[in-house]
Amino acid sequence: MKILVQKFGGTSVKDDESRAAAEKHIVQAVKDGYKVIVVVSAIGRLGDPYATDSLLSLIDGDETQLDLREKDLLLSVGETISATVFTNQLKKNGLPAAALTGQDAGIITNDDFSNAKVLRVETEPIFEFFKKVDVVVVTGFQGVTETGHITTIGRGGSDTTAALLGKAFKAERIDIFTDVSGMMTADPRLVEQAKFLEVVSYQEVSNMAHEGAKVIHPRAVELAMQATIPLRIRSTYLPVTDLGTLVTHSELQVGHYRLVTGIAHVSNLVQFTIETTKQSPETIFSLLANAGISVDFINIFPHQVVFTLVKHEAELAKIIFSENNIAISTLEDCAKVAVVGAGITGVPGVTAKIVTSLAAEDIAILQSADSYTTIWILVSGENLQNAVCTLHDVFL
């Protein structure tokens, strides 16, 4: 049995026209002899009635009085509506299909509600449905505990669901459909000259996703890499012959020897600087960890620590530090820019090019860090577009 996994995001199932565009890809896969596992997100985005953020607004968002288990009951509804509406359309058009919740599909999680971890995928239920239908439409983002409680698996969960099912069913490929044609060398909204990438490695696309490229969740890439299943990032609205960006192992990648793959960015960050003459770094980071705050871009010096937080977590951190009489200095509206590429490893002069090109534009580097495949810099938000465009011009 040949199995293909296709995931359609919220904008790909938002209305009849979008679902019709998605359906043509499913029909083609069936014609090609595949049994197809379709994973769907909630319909649309904030403002659309069944989008996840719209559902959150019904319970006062972060101010809700519901506990996490009850909150998951509501948030799982969006994907359930999406799966059933889409399945109804497929059936009307003569395609044998069935709609399944995460529970129906055998996705078993722990009880860490709102951010549950998938313990296993039981394959028997979907295989049973494949005896009767060619397509199963599975709700993304959700699963069920051993004791039968509905859970959600965190933002980006539909991508993760698709990768988990692809791994469990040894799928030939996982297709992630979105409203763009594939991976680009930068955000085309900032860089007019951004280029389409035909092939990228798992590691490169994971790094791009971690650093702000929103076409795929990095956890999904990591799962596909573990299972050595090729991924394709494709547009719902392009012809079925357009295969988008292939994500595979770097040694199979035609463009493996390019120096830089892309420039990614994350905006709306707050930089914290805290002197450690009175408070140890252990105390500072323990307070944040105990509050469930994830720290990024950390530089630790003999007498101070510097790090960034996303805007909403920064506000909570300020309260925590104030309550503990810890003096802080903050710089609002910062942005992290990442130069990503497998070809960076072991090549001298990359950092020199970054520093020189930004200095020529009078763009101050507030922080920096690097790994084998990524170099990060922090700049002020007002310099974000200029920094991304400058680095794209230099490297790409």
pTM given for the model: 0.84
pLDDT over threshold 50, residue 51: yes
What percentage of the chain exceeds 90 in pLDDT? 70
Please return the burial class of 127, using the count of CB atoms within 10 Å of its CB with bins 0-12, 13-18 and 19+.
middle
Residue 146 contacts residue 106 (beta carbons within 8 Å) = no
Q: Residue 46 and residue 222: Cα distance in Å, rounded? A: 28
Average of per-residue pLDDT across 170-176: 96
Average of per-residue pLDDT across 84-91: 96
* pLDDT, greater one: 202 or 2: 2
pLDDT confidence bin for 11, thresholds 50/70/90: confident
Q: Residue 114 and residue 155: Cα distance in Å, rounded? A: 9
Residue stretches of the annotated binding site: 7-10, 52, 79, 178-179, 189, 214-215
Residue 175 contacts residue 25 (beta carbons within 8 Å) = yes
Residue stretches of the annotated binding site for ATP: 7-10, 178-179, 189, 214-215
Supply the mean pLDDT for the chain.
Answer: 91
Domains of the chain: 3-252 (3.40.1160.10), 262-395 (3.30.2130.10)
Residue stretches of the annotated binding site for substrate: 52, 79
Residue 353 contacts residue 395 (beta carbons within 8 Å) = yes
35-40 and 135-139: which strand pairing?
A: parallel
pLDDT over threshold 80, residue 45: no
